[in-house]
Chain A
Amino acid sequence: MLNLLQTPLAGLGRPTLFILRETGRLAVFFIRALVLIFSFPLQIQKVVHQVYFIGLKSIFVICLTGAFTGMVLGLQGYYSLVKFGATGFLGAAVALSLIRELGPVLTAIMITGRAGSAIAAEIGIMRISEQIDALETMDINPLRFLVSPRLAGAIISFPLLTAIFDVVGIVGGYLTGSVMLGISPGVYFSRMETAVVMEDVTGGFIKALVFAAVVATVCCFHGYYTHLRAEGFGAKGVSLSTTTAVVHSCVLILVTDYILTSFLL
């Protein structure tokens, strides 16, 4: 009888403990990497390189997704608003959706796919080929050398890429709303100016900063601890780490987005 009660409880407790333990490890990993960003000598060159890799090299894909997101918002928004005779609000609807929600979230998801997976794979390969052990034997802190510059690079790049995504998206909405469907450009932009307030922009940037920390930490964490995976070693371990890093990052982006939105509204 006691066993019948214990088994489901143990089944529930084991994954709960695992999630708590992993969350704790992730938090410690993040805090240590964050503190090490400011340790001397500052690794400016490495951070600039990461801004180039995470930020500059993602601009094309961000512009592309931003443009089409804005365009589809323009189309959907127009045909929804036309039912209420409120097409004049299209500019405000597109801008608010992008700045508050879609800009930060879609930018983070796109960078996770492009740069986050690469970060997890690169660090994972360094782990399985003993390059991280080599750093330790040279008395070079691997967290400072590998993780901190990537975290700093992401924190700088995410808000900038989000801003680019928002601007390109608004232009995309203008193309479908005004150029294709005939809404007056003046109305499109003036209603946007009236509706969007500074808190919306600040909220969007706060989300971008949090997503940067989440994506960089999760991707580095999974790569860094590739060797501890029970279900796969070597190249298979790296592939599993990369997949897990991308999936966990995307899920965490959406979860933290909900939490942040509920606080920011």
Chain B
Amino acid sequence: MESPLIRFENVSKRLGDKQVLDRASFSIAGGQISAIIGKSGVGKSVLLKHIIGLMEPDSGSIYFEGKPLRGMKKTDRRAFKRRFSYMFQGNALFDSMTVFDNIALPLKERTALPFAQIKQRVAEKIAQLELAGNEHAYPSQLSGGMRKRVALARALVTGPQIVLFDEPTTGLDPIRKNVVHGMISDYQKRFGFTGVLVSHEIPDIFYISHRVIMIDDGAILFEGTPEQLQASGEPLVRQFIHGMTSQLEPDTALVPQPTGECRFKEEIARLQRHETPFSLMLLSVANMVEAQSQIGHLATQKAIGALANRVRENLRVNDICSRYSMNRILIFLPNTNREQARMVADKLAGHISGLAQTGVTMRSGCLAIRAGFVEATRDSLLEQLVAEAEEKSNTVFDFTVCSATEDV
């Protein structure tokens, strides 16, 4: 890892009788999304509050760009704070202010921008986060999902370099969870900020994170990439990941990524032992970013959900449909060679291409789907097969899916 942006060195914190952080040491790289995971009440939020200075460690040091936070001059600390935004678990919206005033507050108080410019920047964020028409509403008049988006708009309106998200999807339904994760990932790519995200949404969080830090009983149990975490042999890590991973995603009934990877290993083992053929099909949403900006994050997630449901309906009994990333669905085709896989793909193409014609009311924007397939060999790796399936030569069909779009 490059020189870290934030570094914790043996940080300990006791709250009352409880040792919340116990010599925690880890690093956060700039320009990436780092997820802090762990069971409830193990000190994830406390850790986040230490980063921004809402809490001071009892012992140990926190470094920002190599400089210790403790003993930082008042002016430096202010400059440091101005580079951050914090999205609270409970949103922490000002309940006596309107949506507009909530989003505009950091600009009004921290900058000397003229009101017209503030209004323009707030209007941009309101449009980007699909909050138009709610500018004069108060937080208590909004749905949970909308409040999250207002909090996100307020966190992003100043163009921060580092955004800290404290359980941004708590209390949201599965579709809106995906929407918020999609927004964080999308805006991180677009604006290039460093994101630190506290969450226990596993495996969803792996789709958008570059690095994962796992905390247990105040100590850092694991630090690395999501792939390294899932491959970890550490019993506590495995137990946690297994415990937190649901069998099916509730909105799409897709098998989550870690379960899909386990299934891949089983099929490869069968192939190695019994020469049983095994193929993979990959459905990729090629225009995810465009679709999000055209029809919104929520409508995009709903369209992907509709696609997944339609795909599952048209698969064979033993075939397994798994989420591979935010915009990719992986289909495992056991006992299937390349020719048979092509037939399955053609049949599926016929059925789901029809979705565009039979489909549901189209408002604007469609998903451009690319479907590719590939047969596994004895020494295949999942990443390598996915890359092959994405190649143009292995693409069997491109089509569009247009789904119903609704406002939240």
Residues of A within 8 A of B (CB): 122, 125-126, 129-131, 133-134, 136-140, 145
B90 in contact with A140 (CB, 8 Å): no
User: How many Å from the CB of A145 to the closest CB on chain B?
Assistant: 7
- Chain B 40-97 residues near chain A, CB threshold 8 A: 52, 54, 78, 81-82, 84-86, 88, 90, 92-96
Question: B274 interface residue, CB < 8 Å from A?
Answer: no
User: How many Å from the CB of A173 to the closest CB on chain B?
Assistant: 41
- Chain B 86-127 residues near chain A, CB threshold 8 A: 86, 88, 90, 92-96, 105-106, 109-110
Chain A minimum-CB-distance residue to B77: A139
User: Could you name 9 residue pairs across A and B whose Cβ atoms are closer than 8 Å?
Assistant: A129-B95, A131-B94, A134-B88, A136-B54, A137-B86, A138-B106, A139-B82, A139-B110, A140-B106
User: How many Å from the CB of B80 to the closest CB on chain A?
Assistant: 9
CA gap between A138 and B78 in the complex, in Å: 10
CA gap between A133 and B92 in the complex, in Å: 8
List A contacts of B78 (CB < 8 A). Answer: 139
Against A, the Cβ 8 Å flags (1 = close, 0 = not) of B227-241 are 000000000000000
Additional A-B contact list (8), CB under 8 Å, known A137-B84, A139-B82: A122-B96, A129-B90, A131-B92, A131-B95, A134-B94, A137-B54, A138-B158, A145-B109
User: How many Å from the CB of A68 to the closest CB on chain B?
Assistant: 34
List A contacts of B85 (CB < 8 A). Answer: 137-138
List B contacts of A137 (CB < 8 A). Answer: 52, 54, 81, 84-86
Partner of A139, one of B54, B81, B92, B96: B81
Given contacts A129-B92, A139-B81, contact A134 B110 (CB under 8 A): no
A140 in contact with B110 (CB, 8 Å): yes
B105 in contact with A138 (CB, 8 Å): yes
Chain B minimum-CB-distance residue to A41: B112
Partner of A130, one of B52, B82, B90: B90
Per DSSP, chain B at the interface is mixed
List B contacts of A139 (CB < 8 A). Answer: 78, 81-82, 110
Residue with the highest number of chain A CB atoms closer than 10 Å, among B82, B109, B158 = B109
Closest 6 pairs (CB-CB, A-B) = A137-B86, A134-B92, A130-B92, A139-B81, A138-B106, A140-B109
List B contacts of A130 (CB < 8 A). Answer: 88, 90, 92
A134 in contact with B86 (CB, 8 Å): yes
List B contacts of A129 (CB < 8 A). Answer: 90, 92, 95
CA gap between A248 and B34 in the complex, in Å: 48
User: How many Å from the CB of A220 to the closest CB on chain B?
Assistant: 16
User: How many Å from the CB of A124 to the closest CB on chain B?
Assistant: 13
Residue with the highest number of chain A CB atoms closer than 10 Å, among B84, B92, B94 = B92
CA gap between A231 and B158 in the complex, in Å: 39
Against A, the Cβ 8 Å flags (1 = close, 0 = not) of B260-300 are 00000000000000000000000000000000000000000
List A contacts of B110 (CB < 8 A). Answer: 138-140
CA gap between A126 and B95 in the complex, in Å: 9
CA gap between A126 and B92 in the complex, in Å: 9
CA gap between A140 and B105 in the complex, in Å: 9
List A contacts of B81 (CB < 8 A). Answer: 137, 139
CA gap between A134 and B85 in the complex, in Å: 9
User: How many Å from the CB of B75 to the closest CB on chain A?
Assistant: 12
CA gap between A139 and B110 in the complex, in Å: 7
List B contacts of A133 (CB < 8 A). Answer: 54, 88, 92
CA gap between A151 and B73 in the complex, in Å: 29
CA gap between A137 and B164 in the complex, in Å: 10
CA gap between A139 and B160 in the complex, in Å: 12
List B contacts of A145 (CB < 8 A). Answer: 109
Against A, the Cβ 8 Å flags (1 = close, 0 = not) of B336-360 are 0000000000000000000000000
CA gap between A26 and B186 in the complex, in Å: 47
Residue with the highest number of chain B CB atoms closer than 10 Å, among A130, A133, A145 = A130
CA gap between A140 and B158 in the complex, in Å: 13
- Chain B 150-196 residues near chain A, CB threshold 8 A: 158
List A contacts of B158 (CB < 8 A). Answer: 138
CA gap between A141 and B231 in the complex, in Å: 46
User: How many Å from the CB of A50 to the closest CB on chain B?
Assistant: 14
Chain A minimum-CB-distance residue to B80: A139
Chain A minimum-CB-distance residue to B84: A137
User: How many Å from the CB of A54 to the closest CB on chain B?
Assistant: 16
User: How many Å from the CB of B281 to the closest CB on chain A?
Assistant: 46
